[in-house]
Chain A
């Protein structure tokens, strides 16, 4: 029996750790387009921002593969999957047999096609290579003004990191407001004001249409509305697209991501998918969808890993969520925090002068979403209530309190959490 894993980030590590928890012997092979470092992509903003050195990007130590008895092939992208023959082919022409395969190859940054993408100073914000390129340019004193395309999680993190390095930033977002998928209008306005207070120019309803070159480097951009901005760095932080091409060519069921069931199994019973490439169950919207976040990736990998060694484990479903920080003010969005309209009951509490905002979204008796700006203390209590579909109808007021605690939840649920056993399935 042999297990092959394509990819080497959170989902792959989750799978390897789960496999080895149950089975010391099964052969595991990792094939990855990247190098040997198992680093943390969410941390590259902290590296670019100068908060941590490159060594701290390591998610697992260099000895990880050896310690877990994993054979790894680095810098070797997979070019084809043959589900009938149970093989994969790599860019080096190797054909590798598998008994069970885990697709954990993540996603790729979205970059709108336009001339000039190859110029120095034009980057994405996803990999260690991107972070090193930005760090090098800033270190060489060649960046005074940056344009960041995208006002979502990635663009926000890139902008905040560049600010910390003293770079002047213009953020350009096509939607009418930044963080449109995570925040409602009031929350987004607060974050926009925080950016503007820190000197960032935030342009919405606009995007980069053209790159202006000069001597092999970027000199500026022309926006959709025709205005020209001079800049020496252009960062595409729009989002990621799941790397589904190989799965699609192999005939697997692919939608936006590779569609998986609650065991992380694809339409081929020997092939699993986990992490940013997978379209897995989201318990809040009650649908499969792609949600490119670290916690889901690790857990999905662990479920796939357990399954592959005969330990039945079902996914209870993920929740879209993220935590960011702008100019030192933290912000958390959980589930359908920005939902509005019929069928939703919205409770808010704000104190703009303290830069605090709290928004709870209920559907019937259940909490389905939360936005917190400023005070994120004990936010996970909300996540637990959403995950466990707790009836909170009698606790609406206390849950909106600035002093959120386990006293704000129903007695039965509190006792369940306090007991601590079997909190998580």
Chain B
């Protein structure tokens, strides 16, 4: 399956990945409306880590043997049978935060949507390429077939 590859040496911490992740997961899918009307209820699933010259954009690493999947008692965290992507079915999540407790990348967050659910990267399942990768101006994120 394809994964997002992080190249920290190219990241400039412009945070456009965060902006476009948020937009891609908004109802309007419109950058103006998402920031104007939905800012409190939609969040980026990618986190830019930045300290001095070092920065990189971190999202779910799609572990081959995912800790979140085994820790999830609701069955919400699952591997999509078609694409192989690890995603959270928010309609089944109860917000017990076991996934947050076990993810070594810290890539699962408490959703700010007002619903008590876990929020994580879903690889933009309905798009050809994840929004963070598509909008990275410096190819600090790439989408590649990695065995």
Interface residues of A (CB under 8 A from B): 10, 14, 40-43, 46, 51-52, 56, 58-60, 294-295, 298-299, 302, 321, 323, 325, 330, 332, 334, 376-381, 383-384, 387-388, 404-407, 417-425
Give Cα A420 to B64, complex, Å. Answer: 9
B94 and A418 contact, CB distance less than 8 A: no
Q: B97: which of A294, A302, A376, A418 is its contact (CB, 8 Å)? A: A376
Complexed CA–CA distance, A421 and B31 (Å): 33
User: Complex: how many Å from CA A56 to CA B104?
Assistant: 27
Among B50, B56, B63, B100, which residue has its beta carbon within 8 angstroms of that of A418?
Answer: B56
Check if B70 sits within 8 Å of A387, measured CB to CB: no
Nearest-neighbour CB distance to chain B for A358, whole angstroms, equals 14
Contact among B74, B101, B102 for A40, CB-based, below 8 A? B74
Q: Given that A406-B49, A424-B63 are known contacts, is A323 also in contact with B100, CB under 8 Å in the complex? A: yes
Query: CB-CB < 8 A to B142: which residues of A?
Result: none
* Candidate in B71, B98, B101 with the most chain A CB atoms within 10 angstroms: B101
Q: Interface 1/0s, chain B 69-101, versus A by CB < 8 A?
A: 011011100000000000000001010111111
> Do A56 and B74 contact each other (CB < 8 Å), given the known contacts A380-B104, A417-B104, A418-B56?
yes
Q: Is the CB of B96 within 8 A of A42?
A: yes
Complex Cα distance, B48 from A262, in Å, reads 38
- Are B64 and A422 touching (Cβ within 8 A)? yes
Cα–Cα distance between A52 and B75 once the two chains are bound (Å): 14
A330-B97, A417-B104 are known contacts; what are 15 more A-B pairs with Cβ within 8 Å?
A: A40-B73, A59-B73, A295-B67, A299-B70, A302-B70, A323-B96, A378-B106, A380-B100, A380-B104, A381-B104, A406-B49, A406-B58, A418-B61, A423-B64, A425-B65
B74 touching A59, Cβ below 8 Å: yes
Contact of B101 among A56, A383, A405 (CB under 8 A): A383
CB distance from A46 to the nearest CB of B (A): 5
* CB <8 Å contact, B98 and A294: yes
Q: Are A42 and B3 in contact (CB under 8 A)?
A: no
Knowing A380-B67, A424-B63, the reply to whether A418 touches B8 (Cβ < 8 A) is yes
Evaluate contact between B97 and A323: CB separation under 8 angstroms: yes
Q: Are B100 and A46 in contact (CB under 8 A)?
A: no
> CB < 8 Å: which of A325, A383, A407 contacts B104?
A383
Judge if B34 is at the interface, Cβ distance under 8 Å.
no
B54 to A, closest residue via Cβ: A407
Compute how far the CA of A298 lies from the CA of B70 in the bound complex, rounded to whole angstroms.
6
Report the nearest B residue to A423, measured CB to CB.
B63
Instruction: Check A420/B3 contact, CB under 8 A, given A10-B73, A380-B67, A406-B49.
Output: yes
Determine the distance from Cα of A332 to Cα of B102 in the docked complex, in whole angstroms: 11
Residues of A within 8 A of B63 (CB): 420, 423-424
A42 with B92: CB separation less than 8 A: no
Contacts of A334 in B (CB 8 A): 101
What per-residue 1/0 map shows which CB atoms of B41-73 lie under 8 Å from chain A? 000000101110010101001111111001101
A-B pairs with lowest CB-CB distance, top 3:
A384-B104, A378-B106, A420-B61
Say yes or no: A56 contacts B94, CB within 8 Å.
yes
Cα of A321 to Cα of B101 in the assembled complex, Å:
8
Q: How far, in whole Å, are A295 and B68 apart by their CA atoms in the complex? A: 9
A-B contacts, 14 of them at CB < 8 A, read: A56-B94, A323-B98, A376-B97, A377-B110, A380-B67, A381-B104, A383-B101, A387-B104, A417-B104, A420-B3, A421-B146, A422-B64, A423-B105, A425-B65
